[in-house]
Amino acid sequence: MDTGYCLLEMIRDADGHPIDYRFVDLNPAFVRHTGLQDALGCRIRELRPDHEQHWFDIYDAVARTGEPVRFRNVAAALGRTFEVSAFRVGGEGSREVVALFSDVTAQEAAEANAQASERTLAAERNRLRTLVDHLPVGVSFIAPDGQTALSNPAFRTFFPGEVASNADLERTGAAHQAYPPAPVAQLAESALAGEPTLEQRICLHPPGGEPRWTRISGIPVEEDGHVAGAILTVLDVDEQVRASDALQRQAEGLESEVARRTADRDRIWRLARDLMLVARLDGTVNAINPAWSALLGWHEDRLIGTNLLDLVHPEDLDVTIREVQALGAGRSVLAFENRCRAADGSYRVLAWTAVPADGLIHAVARDVTDLRARALALHQAEEQLRQAQKMEAVGQLTGGVAHDFNNMLTIIRSSTDLLRRPDLPEARRRRYIDAIAETSDRAAKLTGQLLAFARRQALKPEVFDMGDRVAAMDDMLRSIVGPRVRIVTDLACGGCFVEADRSQFETALINMAANARDAMDGDGELHISVRALDHKPMIRGHASTGGRFVALSVTDSGSGIAPERIAQVFEPFFTTKEVGRGTGLGLSQVYGFAKQSGGDVDVASTPGQGACFTLYLPNVDAALVPARMAPRATATTPGGGRRVLVVEDNLDVGTFSTQILQDLGYETRWAANAKEALALLGGGLTVDAVFSDVVMPGMSGVELGEEIRRRWPDLPVILTSGYSHVLAEEGRHGFELLQKPYAIEELSRLLARMVPLEGQPDG
C-alpha cells in the first residue's frame, strides 16, 4: 500500500487554538512520503519547527466538527505536496484525526509544467498570429485534406473568407493567371504532394480591385518524414513588376535608340563629305573617315598612327599647335582654319571644329579651299565693279572738266602775257596776279576732287553734312552737266548729317547728275534738293521705315522713263544710251551705295515730264561730326638761314621747290632721289629738315623717311605728293604730309613748326 497513514492527536493552547499535533500511529508509507524517521509519539513541531499553521487549522476543524475533508496542500517544511483525506476518530470532543495521504509532488510539478507550456504556447501563438496578420506577405496554411486552416489578411485580400476552399483557389488562380505558370490550386496540390514551388509570378484579380501582379510560393510542411500540410505565400509585386517592365521597355527603347544613333553615327562617319578624325592630344591619328580618301587621297593604312601635324603647312604649324594645346586644356575649338597637305602634295584650306573628350580629340574639318577662292574672286570682282563705277563717273567728268581746265589755262596764260608788259599799271598787275592765284586754287580743288573719285580704297564711313557736301560740289556738277543745263539747288536743310563714305556719296551724286544730263540731251533744268524726313516712304513694295532720314533728290526736265523700264534702271549694265556713251553702272552704283549705307534709292517719273531720283540715308547726330581745324593765318615765316635738303626726281618741281625755300630764307640742297639724299647725309651734310616727294624711282619717300628716322632720329622729315591713292595706300607712317599742289604759306608754316628758330616757340 502506497497511501500514507497517520493518526494525529491535536494539541491546543490555553485559548483552545491548535498549535501542534502528535503522531499516535503511522505506517511505513508515511515515512517514505514524508521522510520523517522515528516520528511515532513525536510532535511535528519537534520534527519540523517551521511546519505551516494551515495544517493545524484544517485538522483541528475536522476534530471539532467531525466533518471529513479532502484537499491538496503543500507542506513546504517537508518540500512535498500531498493529496489528503482526513476524518475524526471517536465521538464529539475527540481530538484524534486520521489522515490518509498520497505524495503528488511529481504530479503537481508535471501539471504546472504542462500549464506553463500551454500558456507559453498560447502566447507564442498569439505573437505569431499578430506577426502573420501584419505581414505584407499573404500567408496560408493548407491542411492535408486541402482545406485552408489558417490565413492572414494579406492572403485574404486575394482570396476572400477566413478559410479559402480548394475551389476558391482553383477559381481565382485559373481566372487571373497571366503567364503559363500553374494556377494557385495546382501550387497547393503540388506542395501537399511534397513538391515545392517558389515565387511563381501570377496576375491575380482581387474582388473589387484591379488586377495585381503577385509572386506565389507553395512549400510542403513535413513532420516525421510525412507531409503534414503546406504553406502558401502571396507577395504583391505589382509596383515592382510594372516598374521593372517599364524600366525594361525603357532600356529596350534606349538600346534601340543607342543602336539607331550608333548606326546613324556610323553612317554619317562613312558618308560624310566633311573630314572626320579621332586623334590623341599629341596629334597621333587614331581613326579617320572615308572622306579623307575622297578629298585628300589619304587612306587609313597611311594615316593611322601618324601625326596629323606632319600634314600641316609649315606657315600654319604654330597656330595649329596652339589650338591643339587649347584642346588639351579642355577648351573646344569652334572656328579654326589651316592648310593641310593632300596625298598629291597640294594643300587644301580646312575649317576645323574640335572638342576634347576622354583624352582624345574629336574633330570635323570642311574643305573651304574653293569657297575661299570664290570669296576672293568675288571680293576682287566687287572691287573691280567699284572701280568701274568710279571710272565711269570720272569719265562723265572728262568733257566738262577739260572745258573748265581750258578756261582756267586761258586765264592763267592771258594773265601771264599781260604781266610781261613793262608799262602795266600796278593795280592791274595785282589783279592779274590774283586771277592767276584764284584760278590755280580752283584747278587744285578740281584736281583734288578728281583724284578722290579715282583713288582705290575700301569704304570709309564718316559723318558729314549732306547739304554742305552738295554745295561744295557745285563747280564740279556744273562742269559735268554743261553750260546749257541750269542747276537749281535747295539746300536749306539744317542738321542733315549722314554717316557714309564721302567719296562714294560724291560718286553717286555725279552719276545721278550725269544721268539727268543725258536724259535732257544736255539742255534743260536740273533741280537738286536736300531735306530731312521723319521716315522713309514705301519703296518698291517695301514697307515704310520709321526714323530720321536725309533725302537727296535730283530732278530733271527730260523725257522721263517708260513705266516698263522703271524696275530695270538700277540693274547693272542696263542702259538706254547708244553704244559708247555709258556702261549702265552709274545708277547701280547709286543703288549699291544706298543699300550699303543703310538707306535706299527710289525713282519717280512721268513720260514726257522728266524723272526724280531720291537717295535716302539715315540721319545721324551732329555730335558725331569731327571737329574742324580753325583756318590758319596766311602769312609766311622767315627761314632764318635754316638748312633744308630737298629730295625730288622731277627737274621742274625740284628747281621750283628750292627757289621757293630760298625766297623764304632757307638754305637748300637738292637730291634727285633717295639714294643720293642718303649719300649726302652720310657724307656729312648737315641740315635742319628733309623735304621729300613720296613717289620716286627706286626707294620711295616713305622708305627714305623711315631710313632717316632709323639713322638720324632727330632729323625732321616732311613728305609731299599729288597722288591721293598712293597716300591712302602708304599712309603717313608718322611723318608730316603736304598735299600737292600746296600753298607757299602752308609749306612755310609747316617748316617753322618742325624746325623753329632758337627762341621761337614751336608752332
Which neighbouring-strand residues pair with 556?
Answer: 526
**Predicted confidence (pLDDT) at residue 465 exceeds the cutoff of 50:** yes
Note the pLDDT of residue 334.
64
**Predicted confidence (pLDDT) at residue 1 exceeds the cutoff of 60:** no
**Predicted confidence (pLDDT) at residue 177 exceeds the cutoff of 60:** no
Note the pLDDT of residue 728.
44
What's the grid cell of residue 315? 606657315
Q: How confident is the model at residue 575 (pLDDT cuts 50, 70, 90)?
A: low
Distance CA 727, CA 721 (A): 7
Note the pLDDT of residue 648.
93
Q: How confident is the model at residue 439 (pLDDT cuts 50, 70, 90)?
A: confident
Note the pLDDT of residue 671.
95
Note the pLDDT of residue 172.
44
Note the pLDDT of residue 498.
94
Q: Rounded to whole angstroms, what are the CA distances from 111 to 79, 105, 125?
A: 17, 10, 20
Question: Looking at the domain 394-624, which fold is it?
Answer: Heat Shock Protein 90 (3.30.565)
Question: In the predicted model, what is the mean pLDDT of the chain?
Answer: 82
Give me the mean pLDDT over the 157-181 stretch. 46
Q: Indicate if 643-754 has the same CATH topology as 135-236.
A: no
Note the pLDDT of residue 632.
44
Q: How confident is the model at residue 108 (pLDDT cuts 50, 70, 90)?
A: confident
Q: Rounded to whole angstroms, what are the CA distances from 161 to 89, 141, 149, 169, 187?
A: 67, 14, 12, 11, 19
Note the pLDDT of residue 402.
65
Q: Which pairs from 45-50 meet CB under 8 Å and 24+ separation?
A: 45/19, 45/20, 48/77, 48/78, 50/76, 50/77
* Residues 111-134: tens digit of each pLDDT: 888 888 888 888 887 887 787 778
Contacts of 153 (CB under 8 A, 6+ apart): 133
Which neighbouring-strand residues pair with 720?
Answer: 693, 738
What SS3 state is found at 421? coil
Neighbours of 332 (CB within 10 A): 12
Q: How confident is the model at residue 173 (pLDDT cuts 50, 70, 90)?
A: very low
Note the pLDDT of residue 171.
44
* Residues 673-728: tens digit of each pLDDT: 999 999 999 999 999 999 999 888 899 999 999 999 999 999 999 998 876 445 44
Query: Please, are residues 475 and 446 in contact by the beta-carbon 8 Å criterion?
Result: yes
Which neighbouring-strand residues pair with 341?
Answer: 347
Phi, psi angles (nearest 5°) of residue 148: -80, 115
Contacts of 650 (CB under 8 A, 6+ apart): 693
Distance CA 700, CA 739 (A): 16
* Residues 299-308: tens digit of each pLDDT: 988 989 999 8
Note the pLDDT of residue 181.
36
Note the pLDDT of residue 2.
80
Query: Please, are residues 504 and 467 in contact by the beta-carbon 8 Å criterion?
Result: no
Q: What stretch of H or E contains 264?
A: helix 238-271
Would you kindly state where each structural domain of the chain is located, as residue ranges?
4-103, 135-236, 272-367, 394-624, 643-754
Higher pLDDT: 50 or 424? It is 50
Give me the mean pLDDT over the 244-257 stretch. 86
Note the pLDDT of residue 287.
93
Note the pLDDT of residue 208.
72
Where do we find the cell 618742325?
Answer: 754
Note the pLDDT of residue 139.
86
Q: How confident is the model at residue 399 (pLDDT cuts 50, 70, 90)?
A: low
Contacts of 324 (CB under 8 A, 6+ apart): 281, 283, 309, 361
Mean pLDDT check: name the lowest of 280-294, 444-458, 523-537: 444-458
Q: How confident is the model at residue 633 (pLDDT cuts 50, 70, 90)?
A: very low
What's the grid cell of residue 637? 615765316
Phi, psi angles (nearest 5°) of residue 460: -130, 90
Mean pLDDT check: name the lowest of 171-185, 469-483, 649-663: 171-185
What is the secondary structure of 482-551 as a DSSP string?
Answer: -TTEEEEEE---TT-EEEEEHHHHHHHHHHHHHHHHHHTTT-EEEEEEEEEEEEE--BTTBPPEEEEEEE
**Predicted confidence (pLDDT) at residue 137 exceeds the cutoff of 70:** yes
Where do we find the cell 568710279?
Answer: 390
Q: How confident is the model at residue 405 (pLDDT cuts 50, 70, 90)?
A: confident
Distance CA 747, CA 737 (A): 10
- CATH number at 272-367: 3.30.450.20
Give me the mean pLDDT over the 87-103 stretch. 92
Note the pLDDT of residue 540.
76
Q: Which among 113, 215, 73 is positioned nearest to 158, based on CA atoms? A: 215
Give me the mean pLDDT over the 608-637 stretch. 72
The number of residues making up the chain comes to 763
| Homologous superfamily (CATH) for 643-754 | Response regulator (3.40.50.2300)
Q: Rounded to whole angstroms, what are the CA distances from 599 to 166, 234, 514, 531, 590?
A: 95, 84, 21, 15, 11
Question: Looking at the domain 4-103, which fold is it?
Answer: Beta-Lactamase (3.30.450)
Instruction: Calculate what percentage of the chain has a pLDDT beyond 70.
Output: 85
Q: Which among 406, 338, 402, 324 is positioned nearest to 368, based on CA atoms? A: 338
Query: Please, are residues 358 and 372 in contact by the beta-carbon 8 Å criterion?
Result: no
Give me the mean pLDDT over the 492-515 stretch. 87
Greatest CA span in the chain, whole angstroms? 208
The distance from CA 317 to its chain's CA centroid, rounded to whole angstroms, is 29
DSSP 179: S
- CATH number at 135-236: 3.30.450.20
Which neighbouring-strand residues pair with 693?
Answer: 720
Distance CA 601, CA 592 (A): 9
**Predicted confidence (pLDDT) at residue 348 exceeds the cutoff of 80:** yes
**Predicted confidence (pLDDT) at residue 374 exceeds the cutoff of 50:** yes
Note the pLDDT of residue 23.
95
> With b meaning 16 or more CB within 10 Å and e meaning fewer, what string describes 565-595?
eeeebbeeeebeeeeeebbbbbbbbbbbbbe
Where do we find the cell 564740279?
Answer: 476
Q: Cα 231–233–234 angle (5° rounding)?
A: 155
> Which stretches within 581-642 are classed as H helix?
586-596
Give me the mean pLDDT over the 665-669 stretch. 92
Q: How confident is the model at residue 70 (pLDDT cuts 50, 70, 90)?
A: very high
